[in-house]
């Protein structure tokens, strides 16, 4: 029977390290979700400016920013005294680590700020998803054919599924706020499990909505280049002017065409 019990002799530094590493990646994923949602919104709503805004250089800067900006948030748990949080094997949850048994509060101020910051960021990502969804519906009803539209819809589905589970998890995390009250014990466990489910969903959504990722796993090579060789801006403008004529294509200029035109 003892072998079936969970090992609960983790030292406090080990639990704090587990929280620091795990929550760092959680906050980074939260910020990255906002960037991806904004990326999809611009691709669907403003396709002519998409490539200039999300150029390779700007994307590199955004990725670096997403990883770096989380560092001061996680550092605040250690810079400000008595704000550390660690994993509790007894409660199956990240809980506030009291530096003094006589301290009255049962939560971390740094954790409160971090949880609400991530909640606001994820809420902004959901707002971008709603704007993108409305634009997709309008495009479908108008009959306008946009280049890479089906791909943009597929990527939107991926981000919306990821943001939905993230929003549910963060709502529970904000309500629990790493406290150890007996009344919220079930909610604490549910919040922790939902957070793990969200992290799994982030990876599975990439595989489900992206054939490129699936082909990478099975070692299959496929050409995902654009179907048309014309510029995306030219296609978008021409399709808006004459949506029923289809994408604009160009024939190579040769002597026969020149003689016909003359």
State yes or no: pLDDT of 112 exceeds 80. yes
pTM above 0.75, yes or no: no
Alpha carbon separation from 116 to 22, 23, 110, 178, 184 (Å, rounded): 17, 14, 10, 12, 19
Q: Where are the domains of the chain?
A: 12-218
Q: What is the pLDDT of residues 39-65, one digit of tens each?
A: 888 888 888 888 888 898 999 999 999
Report the DSSP pairing between strands 85-88 and 93-96.
Answer: antiparallel
CATH architecture entry for 12-218: Up-down Bundle (1.20)
With vertex at residue 30, the alpha carbon angle to CA 36 and CA 224, rounded to the nearest 5 degrees, is 30
Q: What is the pLDDT of residues 65-97, one digit of tens each?
A: 989 989 998 999 999 988 888 887 776 677 888
CB atoms within 10 A of CB 162: 26
């Amino acid at each position: 029977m003892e072998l079936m019990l969970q090992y609960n002799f983790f030292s406090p530094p080990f639990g704090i390290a587990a929280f620091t590493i795990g929550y760092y990646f959680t906050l980074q994923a939260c910020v990255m979700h906002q960037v991806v949602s904004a990326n999809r919104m611009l691709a669907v709503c403003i396709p002519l400016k998409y490539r200039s805004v999300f150029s390779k250089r700007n994307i590199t800067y955004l990725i670096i920013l997403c990883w770096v900006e989380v560092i001061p948030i996680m550092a605040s748990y250690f810079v400000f005294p008595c704000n550390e949080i660690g994993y509790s094997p007894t409660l199956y949850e990240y809980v506030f680590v009291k530096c003094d048994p006589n301290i009255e509060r049962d939560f971390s101020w740094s954790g409160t700020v971090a949880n609400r910051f991530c909640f606001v960021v994820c809420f902004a990502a959901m707002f971008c998803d709603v704007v993108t969804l409305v634009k997709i519906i309008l495009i479908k009803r108008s009959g306008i054919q946009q280049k890479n539209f089906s791909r943009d819809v597929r990527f939107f589905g991926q981000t919306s599924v990821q943001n939905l589970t993230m929003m549910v998890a963060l709502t529970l995390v904000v309500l629990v706020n790493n406290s150890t009250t007996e009344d919220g014990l079930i909610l604490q466990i549910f919040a922790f499990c939902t957070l793990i489910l969200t992290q799994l969903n982030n990876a599975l959504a990439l595989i489900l909505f992206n054939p490129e990722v699936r082909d990478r796993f099975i070692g299959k090579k496929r050409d995902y280049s654009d179907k048309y060789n014309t510029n995306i801006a030219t296609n978008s403008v021409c399709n808006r002017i004459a949506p029923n004529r289809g994408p604009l294509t160009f024939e190579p200029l040769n002597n026969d065409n020149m003689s016909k035109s003359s």
